[in-house]
Amino acid sequence: MGKRTIESEVKLFNRPKMEKPLLIEGLPGIGYVGKLAAEHLIEEFEAEKFGEINSPFFPHHVSIDSGILRPAKNEFYLADLEGKDVIILVGDVQATSSEGHYELANKVLDTAESFDVSRIFTLGGYATGQYSKSQPKVFGVVNHPELLEEYGSDGLVIREGTGPIIGISGLLLGLGSLRGINGVCLLGETHGMLVDHRSARSVLEALSSMLGFKVDLSKLEEHAKKTESILRRMRKVEKLRKRRKEREEEVSYIG
């Protein structure tokens, strides 16, 4: 019962061998774009979990799934992307306070540095209030001018203007730059109020083109189509409801 510091805890189950890995972050955020994209990579490349983070800076709740309760976590996976070692960071929450965000981002960077991380890619969404059925655009920002040249030829659309990026996707790159770790933040256009698999697909297309790997995106496309069919049905029901109401009003006028 000694003193317990209020501090996030990184637990590595093992220290897998990797060579100058990339770090890809996909924690929950706008439209769940980053989370969906990162989880898709984990599934497609059969990444293996090698560690997790528990933190007093997470929200004070637990999640339930089919009667099983589990604490909030962030998790580290290792994937082999066609010869490239990639650490993937996923999870069900971000920190609740500014202090917590900084502490967690620094713990993640500590861990990544201990594996000699070579570059960081953070994935997220960019709320537009509109749902794109075709091909959501992907914007990029980098944390070092060098990368603008390096990735410019990959058709990366650089986000114009100024403005903040909130949360871990921005902080990992901001604090990373203070440690000399370069990286890119890829933001997929998304509605903002809908879980958006299509935007996640766009983000992974941009990422795979930048990193030169291939990935089957059909499952994300399927999910996107399901979402759209649900949306269509909801709109149809709404339309019918309106029309019926109008007819009823006509009838009552006639009567």
Q: Quick check: 171 binds a copy of itself (CB under 8 A)?
A: yes
Q: How many CB atoms lie under 10 A from the CB of residue 184?
A: 24
162 residue type, one letter: T
Report the nearest approach of a copy of itself to the CB of residue 232 (Å): 25
Please state at what angle helix 33-44 crosses helix 197-211, rounded to 10 degrees: 60
Please say whether the beta carbons of 125 and 192 come within 8 A.
yes
The rounded distance, in Å, linking the Cα atoms of 54 and 36 is: 21
Stretch that binds a copy of itself, among 25-33, 77-85, 136-144, 190-198 (CB under 8 A): 136-144
Q: Quick check: 81 binds a copy of itself (CB under 8 A)?
A: no
Report DSSP letters for 170-223, one per residue. HHHHHHHHHTT--EEEEEEEE-SSS--HHHHHHHHHHHHHHHT-----HHHHHH
Report the nearest approach of a copy of itself to the CB of residue 178 (Å): 6
Q: Which of 129, 163, 180, 255 binds a copy of itself (CB under 8 A)?
A: 163
The rounded distance, in Å, linking the Cα atoms of 250 and 255 is: 9
Stretch that binds a copy of itself, among 37-45, 62-70, 205-213, 221-229 (CB under 8 A): 62-70
The encoded tokens of residue 117 equal 């991380």
Residues of this chain, 88-107, that bind a copy of itself according to CB under 8 A: 95-103, 106-107
Q: Binding marks (x or -) toward a copy of itself, 38..57, rule CB under 8 A?
A: ----------------xxxx
Phi then psi for residue 112, to 5 deg, are -60, -40
Q: Quick check: 3 binds a copy of itself (CB under 8 A)?
A: yes
Q: Quick check: 158 binds a copy of itself (CB under 8 A)?
A: yes
Q: Which is nearer to a copy of itself, 146 or 238 (CB)?
A: 146
| Residue bearing tokens 């795979």 | 208
Positions in the binding site for a copy of itself (CB under 8 A): 1, 3-7, 10, 54-72, 95-103, 106-107, 110-111, 114, 140-145, 148, 158-167, 170-171, 173-175, 177-178, 185
